[in-house]
A and B are shown apart, each in its own frame.
Chain A
């Protein structure tokens, strides 16, 4: 069970769009729809923003969207706002009732 691969950092100016990738394998992202994304602001617990790779929980702005292609999932944040500055983590079901996280990406709003 290997961690999913995310870029350590991403950035964009207010109003722009930013994408964050999450690369796994045919045993996790490539095999299951159960890909999630979490936002974690400093000092806070993670908060779910995407589940089943493209669904948003109630209350999450539609500026956040997810997609999946092959073994890679992508989080897109459109219309960047200062409040979007945070760490973002992906996760995927990896079979046999196990879960794997990505290493996290720090998003900076310039």
Chain B
């Protein structure tokens, strides 16, 4: 059964770079044509989509974050990574990785498997 687990530093200083990892278990990223997404949720607020990374490596990001975010797939480690540069207090949130639901021919653009999330606090 596919499971996702996010890991990260917990605390990041303003202006620094945030790096998160999502480890996939239960399936091999190499063998499946899975695509992935990152979503974040600031304290007491709603969900914000960060971006997609398709199985081929193509990436698409939320326009509001586009200049600061990078997503990548580490197939040998069965991991998906997220990097966010020049962080501010506004980037404090729980960060989730999720799988993009799909059939064999098209994407549903729904997120059907989620990790438990990892909390990131931006503070000096």
The residues of B that contact A46 with a CB separation of less than 8 Å are 39, 47, 96, 111, 114
A18 within 8 A of B: no
Total A-B Cβ pairs within 8 A: 67
Bound-state CA distance A47–B96 (Å) is 12
Could you tell me which residues of chain B, from 80 to 103, have a CB within 8 Å of some CB in chain A? 96, 101
| Chain B residue with the shortest CB-CB distance to A93 | B109
Could you tell me which residues of chain A, from 91 to 110, have a CB within 8 Å of some CB in chain B? 91, 93, 96-104
Number of A interface residues at 8 Å Cβ cutoff, please give it. 26
Q: Which of A1, A34, A45, A96 is close to B64, meaning CB atoms less than 8 Å apart?
A: A1
Distance (whole angstroms) from the CB of B14 to the closest CB of chain A: 25
Q: Which of B39, B48, B60, B108 is close to A34, meaning CB atoms less than 8 Å apart?
A: B108
Sorting the interface of chain B by its residue count into under 10, 10 to 19, 20 to 34 or 35 or more gives: 20 to 34
Bound-state CA distance A83–B82 (Å) is 34
Q: Are B114 and A97 in contact (CB under 8 A)?
A: no
B115 within 8 A of A: yes
Q: Are A45 and B115 in contact (CB under 8 A)?
A: yes
